Amino acid sequence: MRVLVTGARGYLGRNVVEQLRAAGHTALPFSGDIREDAIPPSDGVIHLAALARVRESFDNPLAYYDVNVTGTLRLLRSAPARFVLASTAAVYGAPAGDVLTEDHPRRPANPYAATKAAAEDAVAWTARGGPLAAVTLRLFNLAGGGDRDDTRLITRACGVAAGRLPSMEVYGDGTAVRDFVHVRDAARAFVLALETCRPGHEVYNVGATPASVADVLAAVRRVTGAEVAVEWKPAHPGEARVSRADTTRLRALGWLPVESDLDALVRDQWAARR
């Protein structure tokens, strides 16, 4: 299958391209401007390109809608037979429940999450009205694989342990729980979604290992043997205390995370950046 991958040079994109090729597909990396550049024909699209900074989205919401929504519409107009959209668990907002199924109401609390919810809707309605086979994958917290985004918890903690960063800010008492998944396990989910999608639209959560901030700090100390300097801050009001992915639907397709154990995530990130 000839598969167009937007955002192919990014953290997740590089891994998706690698997994596509390993599965025998022809990956067509697309790193241009999806709002303007010509979109080559393909059998399917994996759409990863997006603006993805929550705080930045408050400062420039129109840019986020332009790239994340308008770009998605343009790709849909290119009439691929299969379409896989990278979305985010942020569309759920700050839910009261701790384990999130795909049927949980979406309550985006920032412009970035709102644009992803809008992109999801565009994909869903397009698939409902025609022959498109489409999937939305709601990603929780990617980690491992030499990530360079120091805003991510595991990446920053490893950076502090390595002495590359002075300290990490922890908001609250460290008991907040998030769901982590190795970037390569996530990439495998994209390939599986592309291969198994049928006409219509399906949504799947992509997560693997729930862990608290304190758990992550302990794992980094255990794996690296180094201390992680912490700067404690008051908890953000309205922030979810626990966010865990129910991945029953995705596992029913045959997906299993094989690299997402917490210590393995830390070990992989530490080795890759060292």
Length of the chain as a residue count: 274
- Residues contacting residue 182 through CB under 8 Å, at least 6 positions apart: 142, 143, 144, 145, 208, 257, 259, 260, 264, 265, 268
Dist. CA 20–CA 112, nearest whole Å: 27
In the three-class reduction of DSSP (H, G, I as helix; E, B as strand; rest coil), residue 267 is classed as helix
92 an active-site residue?
no
> Of the residues 65, 92, 112, 204, which is catalytic?
112
Q: Show the DSSP H helices in the chain as ranges.
A: 11-22, 54-59, 61-65, 71-77, 111-128, 153-161, 183-196, 213-224, 248-252, 262-273
Contact present, 261 and 268 (Cβ < 8 Å): no
Q: Which amino acid is at 44?
A: G
CB proximity list for 38: less than 8 A, separation 6 or greater: none
Q: In sequence order, what are the residues at sequence separation of 6 or more whose Cβ sits closer than 8 angstroms to the Cβ of residue 100?
A: 89, 92, 205, 243, 244, 245, 246
The answer to whether 148 and 133 have CB atoms below 8 angstroms apart is no
Single out the residue of 159, 74, 53, 60 nearest to residue 119, CA to CA.
Answer: 74
Nearest to 126 by CA among 91, 189, 87, 75: 75
Residues designated catalytic: 112
